[in-house]
Structure 1
Amino acid sequence: MSNQALKTQSNDPSFKDLLDELKWRGLVALSTDEAALRTALNETKITYYIGFDPTAPSLHLGNLVQLLIMRRLQLAGHKPLALIGGSTGLVGDPRPTAERTLNTKETVVEWVEKLGKQASRFLSFEGENPARLVNNLDWTAPLSAIDFLRDIGKYFRVGTMLSKDAVSARLNSEHGISYTEFSYQILQGYDYLELYRRYGCTLQMGGSDQWGNLTSGTDLIRKVEGKSVHILATPLITNSDGQKFGKSEGNAVWLDAEFTSPYAFYQFWLNVDDADVIDRLKVFTFLTRAEIEDLAKQTAEAPHLRAAQKRLALEVTTLVHSAQSAQAAIDASAALFGQGDLAALDADTLASALGELPKTTASVGTPITQLLIETGLVDSISAGRRAIKEGGVYLNNEKIIDEAAVLTDLLHSKFAVLRRGKKTLAGVFSA
């Protein structure tokens, strides 16, 4: 997000209390002393941080929750530190099931740079409270193992470490837990201590599944510096059926267009259930309470119009990619279903859109009935001929009237859009 785009965002003026707004948006699961945190957020200007480990070449929807809460606090005048875990990314925090695969140092360095650029798009590095990117490798790399054990390790009690949910779950599993992952909470606690010392950081935020690691930092600062600092944990975002949000058949929704195209990203938000869409608007957009309540009313009165989903998809795609990408996704959606000009779509947008559909490869001259079978739109030649005869088959939005018709028209010399009826689509790529 450009700094100019960031300037168009603002917190909801109907809230006089920042913590109350975060609660209304469903962004507070747990925190340290709420009264003290409320005072810090509303009556002072604090420095705060969230950490992102480079365990993949892109951030995802779970990270987006954290990036947007960082932005909300920055808009309120607080100063953000975006920590990219160059050292913790080499170790890996405990997963609920098996040991995390360790990546090479070269890979982690590459991913640190990529994630830093991604995170930077959601924060402003100008003004009175500019953001800062930090890398925990800067303070862990010079530290010897002996110094780490003597100076930091002495403050951690094994019994307390064993009681953390992420650790105890693994201890009771068939996989157990390595010392590598077991030590992660010490490293995260040390991060908070260093950020407190270097930048006066007094608030750490993260997902509620990280609560054990978050508290390791407050405990360490209290023991070493004799000071109390804050943590705030956001809830894990789930669908109304309890399924973890953003996961589809094990595939994350990425913020990098290389891994999740803007079209696929837009469609993901457009397909959010009615039961979840208002909660998503609260978490993932900067729309005001009044605007969201109006969309909730529209959803209740005319759910078939999907006004809330359309606004959600527009807002989040614009935030993560750009207004141009969001409009291209809207245009592609309309064109695919016969409500726009397919030929006006650029090749990349069309390729992304077709990549989400059933598809086949074919050469010019391939019978349309064969393409219908190969893409699964019909299950036999006779069914394909019948569909054409009934007027329900379209190639690039042109109705096919000849049962013996063949593929002749390729968009950008590469693609064709096959449609049966109003809503069933498939893609054809040139062989």
Structure 2
Amino acid sequence: MSEKRRTRAGARLIATDDGHKVTPAELFFDLVFVYAITQVTALMAAAPSPLRLLGGGVVLALLWWCWCCFAWLGNVVRADSGAMFSVLVAVMAVVLIVSLTVPEVYEDLPGGLSAPLVFVLCYGAVRSLHLIAYWMSGPGDPVLRRTLRRTALMSVAPPFALLLVGSALSGMTQILVWLAAVAVDYGGIYIAGGSGWRVASPGHFAERHGLIVIIALGESIVAIGVGVSGLPLSAPVLVASAAGLMVVAGLWRLYFRELSERAEHKLTHLDGDDRTRLARDAYTFLHLPLVGGIVLTALGMKKTLHQIADTGHYELSEPLHGVVAWALTGGVGVFLLGTAAILLRTTGRSSATLLAGGVLCLGAGALVSLVPALLALGLLAAAVTALVVVHDRTGRTAKA
């Protein structure tokens, strides 16, 4: 092959097929989102309050949309091809900048660039690169191109305008304007419909989302270590760390042993717009509560471990307070309800165990604020373990 032909082959976008698997290029791409998720947790942990948790959720929803855009694109175009890999590296650079702005996105520090404005401009750049790359991927697909034009008009331009307006504001007003942008963005994708988009490889699509769940769970484990960083090791810290790991392990099992295979199986046995709609609902929309729930739980565990380890400022008998007390169990509750929603969307079967567990965990914040932090974390670990056992037995009974 001549040098010119090699160059053309390396520059073009290469379509995937039904057996496509996740490439190392996509794993490399996910590295910036590891950092982004840790930054969201740090944003909420810096000044825990209901408003800050809402603001952190808005930032996470915007970052999630950036990730989802390229999960879809990587399903139809090989991420390790010349042109596509160049796009991914460019997006990684932009998302890294976005991640650097997250701690200042609601409280901009003087003396530098405007963090909210940089965040918004970079978000717009990611969405634009996604649309351009998708446009290049389907030169002979008029349905896809119509969908891309509709997406740009409904789900990119209006939210970007709202984000720009919000970047000039502050406090609750900024957060509410950005929340409106998220609602318009997500709603626009839903209204635009599933025609034009496609899922070429269900296995790849399911694996990509499983990997991002693993990344989020990893953030929970990192939060345990960060919470005790710089503080002396003690027996209560060891017990709390083990309990935190049990919580993470329970969430892992619920997803990877109880849910992911069923969702992938359903996705594989659909085709056309039915497959696209399921992928949109069960993965793009309903995986966000899973990641968000894990981030909230990571916040709760980080603060719990810090309080247990910092004996100079806290008594071991002292409970968690405020939104941190709710986040510890509430994050698990959000995860459980998201899992129940995915199960219902993919199998048509509701899980009373997941629903009851989710509701109880959401309401358990009041109890957490009454008992010592270490006991609260231990009880949560026991509750998640018991729920996994009950749900596993219920699932086997349903299959029998």
Considering the TM-score relative to the shorter chain, is it more than 0.5?
Answer: no
TM-score (structure 2 length as normaliser): 0.23
Instruction: Identify, as 1 or 2, the structure richer in helix.
Output: 2
- In our comparison, the structure showing a higher alpha carbon Rg is 1
TM-score (structure 1 length as normaliser): 0.22
Instruction: Identify, as 1 or 2, the structure richer in strand.
Output: 1
Higher relative contact order (CA 8 A, sep 6+): 2
